[in-house]
Amino acid sequence: MPTILLVEDNEMNRDMLSRRLIRKGYEVLLAVDGQQGIDMCEQAKPDLMLLDMSLPVKDGWQVAREMKASAVLQTIPIIALTAHAMADDRQRALLAGCDDYDTKPVDLPRLLGKIEHLLGAAQ
Amino acid sequence: MSFTRRLTFSFVAILVLSLSSVLIQVWGNDTRRRNVWLLQHVIRTQSELNDFSQRMYSTHRKILVVDALAESGTQNGITVAERKELLSGIDALVALEEELNDDLQEYLEQGRYEPLDAALLLQHWRQFLESDFEPHGEDLQREYEALSSRISANEWYLLTRSDEINVGLREVVSMTNKVALAVFLLALITTFVLGYYMTRYTRRAIRQLQKGTSEWGEGNFDYSIGDMGRDEFGQLANSFNDMASSLRQAMGSAREASRRADAANQAKSGFLANMSHELRTPMNAIIGYSEMLLEEIDEEEQLSVSDLQPDLEKIQLAGKHLLTLINDVLDISKIESGRMAVFWEDVALEAVLRDVEITVAPLMEKNRNILHCDFDLRNERIRTDVTRLRQILLNLLSNAAKFTRSGDVFLSVSELTEDGHDYLLAEVRDTGIGMSEEQLGRVFDAFVQADLSTTKQYGGSGLGLTISRKFAELLGGTITASSELGRGSRFVLRLPVGVGASDSIGGLEKTASGDILVIDDDLAALDLSHRALSREGYHVRTASSGAEGLVMARQHRPDLVVLDVMMPGLDGWQVLHSLRGDPVLGSVPVLMLSMLNEHDLGLLLGASGYLVKPVESAELTAVVRDLLPATAVGNMLLIEEGDALAQVIELLPGAEHWKIYHTGDLARVAELLTELPWQLIVLGPHNDSGQIGRLVAHLRTEHWRTVPMLMAQTDAEIQSLRGQLGAYLNRGE
């Protein structure tokens, strides 16, 4: 099964989303800040990254920019996840290099749809 | 040089030129007239001299004839009559000579005339005629010739003189003409030159002014017209510059206001975006976990309740956090929209502080912090809004506890007086992680600290400091922060206290009257209701059980009963039933308070009002005011002669709730004013307008300032007063 790296600093949301993804059969890796997220991408090469944007140490936008600038990591699709739901938040995320965007609270079927779409495109 | 001075100068120059022209004309005329007069006299003298010369010649001829006759021996060659005529002719010539001599002397210059000296000849002629014609022919002939040559000389002199005068006349005329022409030309040149300079100067000045106005018109308000001297144009330029600077300031403040409005708008948008983010985060957990639980329940057969418990607890935690957030956001919005009421009351400060100390103790223990309290209180009771004060202190202390581990937290409270005002100073200091300059700058901004993972232990929302600062400002105080990274933070709250202690604050609100009995087993709730209603001016009794309540109701016959539903023993419904069955108390309105929303049931069972707990003070007092049978709302002093206004007021709805004192006697008014508290003063028609004026001035002084006053002197005013009065009278209902 594909491996998804979930970068999320909020413990409850991390716990909740990771469990739901595991239940759907994905392998889930966890990172709690932006830098850790990049490090884990380099080590574990996940198939997809779910990226919270408001992160400590290195925020999501910075992570996305660095990922897309790296020859090794730029192929990993990124879905931005944020509770910032204003109109230009989506634009900001896509501009930073994210491949897709979803808002919190997470609508799981919709998020799964986006994950599968991106994974399908990557294969 | 000022514009006026330039104009004056030009005017004076032209005036001087014109004046000199006139003077020269006058002088010319005068000289001409004098010369003409002189010429006339010279000519007359000439003709007189001519006449004299003729007569002398004719007399001389006659004398020579007589002399010749005498020589020839002819006696009586001349008749007596002829001699007499000759003699009288000689007399006339004597007079004529004198006159001529005077004229010559007058009209000819010194040395330019010769005296005629005819007197000797004339005397010789007279002697010749009177002395019987002794022959003197040769002598007389010689003398006559001498005289004749003198006459000729004088004739020559007179002729020369008249020529001279003629020449002078011509010269004067030509000179005055020349001068007039010169003056005319000079005036013309002066006018042109001055006109040119004035025009050029004016044009330049106007151009400068125009440049200024067009610059300002284009919005360049920094432009300033250069120095234009101190004349009218300069003053105009200065006025323009002043106007531009006022405009600049006005534009500046308008821009500043607009910039501030933009900033506030941006802050608001930012706040909204942040709030959306903050609300969505716990919502995400709630929805996520509950969906997951539903899936688990669906999919897994063997699921025990204990499996679900940890996730349910997470949902609950997130839900509570969400509630805190929403409440805090509502608080902020209430404060910002000015709807947050302040309740000033006298409180025992030390008790409040001890209570705060106990409340935060668990928070201190959690991070193994020690709380050190140091209270230096001068007044036993102070006047403040104790709820807000508590909230601020709890916020500051829980923050200190949160960011300090195994350290110390200090709470020092003291009072000070400054400029005649009393202040409460509360300092909360910790030895925790502290803040950087940058963090310190944003510490009072909303959501700076908001983060579910760090705030969930305390139920904080990241709005605590924002709200605390707003509360402090609401109470007229300040909160300031200082901090050192790694060393700890220090927050100082400074609140004015006792400022609201004056009686005038109560005003009309304290006019509510009536006995109220509150029955509630929850002592905290009982106290809350008691405080809220007392504050409104009601007389409040409390009972902590249904049975006690019934006894007190029968004993005191309250005007209204506030009744809690959930009570041990006799519950609210039973008490209500007993009250309704009582012949005396049956009609007393009863307001039910309950945790459950059974509004309709309550009314069905005979309650007059129904409120769901927790009840806000404002809500409680508003409903009580609605339910209490109308009693006198207050004292109205109606001052008028006659009863036109009194009749109008009597008929107004709501008037029956007022105790109206009606008088036109101003001495009585003075007495009444000091005897009773007044809630409304109405001034009607009165003849002594001077006294009324003084009365109004007196009522406007400090003491009476807060009492509403309405005036109506004419019929039209009385009619238009109806609406205003109606509004006042109905306030009590």
Q: Which fold has domain B341-501?
A: Heat Shock Protein 90 (3.30.565)
In chain B, the residue whose alpha carbon lies closest to the alpha carbon of A12 is B285
Residues of chain B with C-beta less than 8 angstroms from the C-beta of A55: none
Instruction: Name the least confident of B19-28, B179-188, B619-628, B630-639.
Output: B630-639
Same CATH fold assignment for domains B510-627 and B634-732: yes
Backbone angles phi, psi at B446, to 5 degrees: -70, 145
**Measured on CA atoms in the order B539, B544, B550, B555, is the torsion positive or negative?**
negative
Q: Is the pLDDT of residue B491 over 90?
A: yes
Nearest CA of chain B to the CA of A13: how many Å? 6
Tell me the per-residue pLDDT of A68-122, one tens digit each, with 9 for 90 and over: 998 889 999 999 988 776 778 888 889 999 999 998 888 899 999 999 999 987 6
Within 95-114 of A, beta carbons closer than 8 Å to B belong to 103-106, 108
B277–A23 CB contact, under 8 Å: no
Residues of chain B with C-beta less than 8 angstroms from the C-beta of A20: 288, 291-292, 295
Q: Does A11 touch chain B (CB under 8 A)?
A: yes
- Give the separation between CA A43 and CA A52, rounded to whole angstroms: 20
- Give the separation between CA B139 and CA B63, rounded to whole angstroms: 12
B3-14 burial, b at 16+ Cβ within 10 Å, e below that, comes to beebeeebeebb
Q: Say which residue, B626 or B594, is predicted with more confidence.
A: B594
**3-class state of residue B469 by DSSP:** helix
Q: Does B318 touch chain A (CB under 8 A)?
A: yes
Residues of chain A with C-beta less than 8 angstroms from the C-beta of B292: 16, 19-20, 23
pLDDT category at B629 given cuts 50, 70, 90 is: low
Residues of chain A with C-beta less than 8 angstroms from the C-beta of B277: 54, 82-85
A104–B286 CB contact, under 8 Å: no
Query: Which H or E run contains B82?
Result: helix B80-107
B288–A82 CB contact, under 8 Å: no
pLDDT category at B69 given cuts 50, 70, 90 is: confident
Return the CATH architecture of domain A3-122: 3-Layer(aba) Sandwich (3.40)
Q: Does A59 touch chain B (CB under 8 A)?
A: no
Mutation site for B-interface testing, chosen from A9, A11, A12 by largest number of B Cβ within 10 Å: A12
Question: Token digits for B545?
Answer: 């059980």
- Give the separation between CA B606 and CA B608, rounded to whole angstroms: 6
Question: Token digits for B468?
Answer: 């605390």
**3-class state of residue B395 by DSSP:** helix
pLDDT score for B504: 32
Backbone angles phi, psi at B592, to 5 degrees: -90, 140
B452–A12 CB contact, under 8 Å: yes
The answer to whether B666 and B695 are in contact (CB under 8 A) is yes
In chain A, the residue whose alpha carbon lies closest to the alpha carbon of B316 is A12
Q: Is the pLDDT of residue B191 over 70?
A: yes
**3-class state of residue B471 by DSSP:** helix
Cα dist from B168 to B25, B30, B33, B102, whole Å = 16, 13, 12, 24
**Where are the domains positioned within chain B?**
3-187, 341-501, 510-627, 634-732
CATH number attached to the domain at B3-187 = 1.20.1330
Nearest 5°: the CA angle B545, B546, B551 is 100
* Cis upstream peptide for A105 (omega within 30°): yes
Comparing CA positions, the residue from B143, B155, B166 lying closest to residue B112 is B155
Q: Does A57 touch chain B (CB under 8 A)?
A: no
Q: Kindly report the pTM of this predicted structure.
A: 0.45
CATH number attached to the domain at B634-732 = 3.40.50.2300
Cα dist from B496 to A37, B273, B361, B482, B673, whole Å = 51, 35, 27, 21, 33
DSSP state of B664: -
Residues of chain A with C-beta less than 8 angstroms from the C-beta of B318: 12
> Which of B287, B451, B456 is nearest residue A105 as measured by Cβ atoms?
B287
Question: How do beta strands B658-663 and B680-683 pair?
Answer: unpaired
Q: State the average pLDDT for chain B.
A: 81
Comparing CA positions, the residue from B553, B598, B601 lying closest to residue B580 is B553
Question: Token digits for B202?
Answer: 């004016």
Q: Is the pLDDT of residue B501 over 50?
A: no
> Which of B280, B286, B314 is nearest residue A85 as measured by Cβ atoms?
B280
CB pairs under 8 A between A and B: 69
**Where are the domains positioned within chain A?**
3-122
pLDDT score for A76: 92
B286–A13 CB contact, under 8 Å: no
Question: Token digits for B201?
Answer: 């100067």
DSSP H helices, B536-627, are 546-556, 572-581, 599-604, 617-627
Contacts of B613 (CB under 8 A, 6+ apart): B525, B593, B594, B595
pLDDT score for A117: 92
Q: Does A84 touch chain B (CB under 8 A)?
A: yes
Q: Is the pLDDT of residue B3 over 60?
A: yes
pLDDT score for B710: 76
Q: Does A13 touch chain B (CB under 8 A)?
A: yes
pLDDT score for B413: 93
pLDDT score for B480: 93
Find the largest Cα–Cα distance for chain A.
Answer: 35
Tell me the per-residue pLDDT of B300-310, one tens digit each, with 9 for 90 and over: 777 787 888 88
Mutation site for B-interface testing, chosen from A9, A14, A16 by largest number of B Cβ within 10 Å: A16
B280–A86 CB contact, under 8 Å: no
User: What is the number of residues in chain B?
Assistant: 733
Question: Token digits for B548?
Answer: 């006690």
A83–B280 CB contact, under 8 Å: yes
Tokens 């006449």 belong to: B51
The answer to whether A41 and A5 are in contact (CB under 8 A) is yes
Q: Is the pLDDT of residue B297 over 80?
A: yes
- The residues pairing with B564 across neighbouring beta strands, listed in sequence order, are B593
Question: How do beta strands B560-564 and B590-594 pair?
Answer: parallel
pLDDT score for A30: 95
Cβ atoms < 10 Å from Cβ of B205: 20
Task: Tell me the average pLDDT across B262-278.
Answer: 78
- Give the separation between CA B52 and CA B148, rounded to whole angstroms: 10
B292–A20 CB contact, under 8 Å: yes
In chain A, the residue whose alpha carbon lies closest to the alpha carbon of B294 is A20
Q: Does B276 touch chain A (CB under 8 A)?
A: yes
The answer to whether B463 and B446 are in contact (CB under 8 A) is yes
Q: Is the pLDDT of residue B454 over 50?
A: no
Contacts of B506 (CB under 8 A, 6+ apart): B537
- Give the separation between CA B86 and CA B489, rounded to whole angstroms: 153
What percent helix, strand, coil does chain B show, rounded to 5?
A: 60, 15, 25
pLDDT score for B632: 54
B451–A85 CB contact, under 8 Å: no
Class of domain B510-627: alpha beta
